[in-house]
Structure 1
């Protein structure tokens, strides 16, 4: 999106399928897992998460809750 001021790539069609995004961490690192979930939850509650996704035009895959092992 930012390469060559956005002139290097061309969007050719609509998003065909979206799924919620995830963040992977080592299963044994529960402290990191919990910190990431807490931070993401805060970003979601204060609106910053949606603002970031909107900036990069990737809101279609937005998660609605910061769930641990939330899978589909």
Structure 2
């Protein structure tokens, strides 16, 4: 199983690393140990239109409902 390099988040502005750590610890340990689940959950959180400070919420919503 691979390891996700979260230590790179320490170089980002703000407290992204700490917030990411809090986010990851909310999952059951079985899920935290599965890299695929963590990557999918991170993608869902990153690409949701409900996040604060998202600039183009309408574009995200359109992409989420538009079939391929």
Same fold (TM over 0.5): no
- TM-score, normalised via structure 1 length: 0.30
Of structures 1 and 2, the one scoring higher in RCO (CA 8 A, sep 6+) is 1
Which of the two has greater helix per residue? 2
The structure with more radius of gyration: 1
